[in-house]
């Protein structure tokens, strides 16, 4: 027997399948790697003191793009 959570997740999954995978569509439309040289200059930390490794520039750009979609959709 399925729990209420299973039912809700399955229902949401079916709804998302009907909407399509917009992130995959976006991935095929944008050449993300072309932004890397520009972003590398903006976000590079080349300190000798150690610390946390840099986060990938392309990943940060994708996060900003997704965040802007949420703002435009009114789901901030």
pLDDT tens digits, residue range 40-65? 888 666 667 777 777 889 999 999 98
Residue 53 to residues 48, 50, 63, Cα–Cα distance (Å) = 12, 8, 18
pLDDT value at residue 70: 79
pLDDT value at residue 26: 86
Runs of H (alpha helix) within the chain: 4-19, 22-29, 36-43, 57-72
Euclidean distance between CA atoms 25 and 43, whole angstroms: 27
Which pair of tokens denotes residue 19? 């909407």
pTM: 0.61
Domain count for the chain:
1
pLDDT value at residue 73: 66
Q: Which domain holds residue 11?
A: 4-72
Percent of the chain whose predicted confidence (pLDDT) is above 70? 83
pLDDT value at residue 58: 92
The dihedral sign for the CA sequence 26, 66, 60, 9? negative
């Amino acid at each position: 027997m399925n729990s209420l959570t299973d039912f809700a997740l399955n229902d949401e999954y079916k709804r998302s399948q009907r909407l399509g995978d917009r992130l995959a569509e976006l991935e095929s439309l944008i050449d993300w790697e072309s932004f890397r040289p520009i972003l590398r200059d903006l976000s590079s930390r080349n300190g000798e003191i150690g610390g946390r490794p840099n986060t990938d520039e392309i990943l940060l750009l994708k996060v900003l793009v997704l965040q802007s979609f949420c703002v435009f959709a009114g789901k901030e």
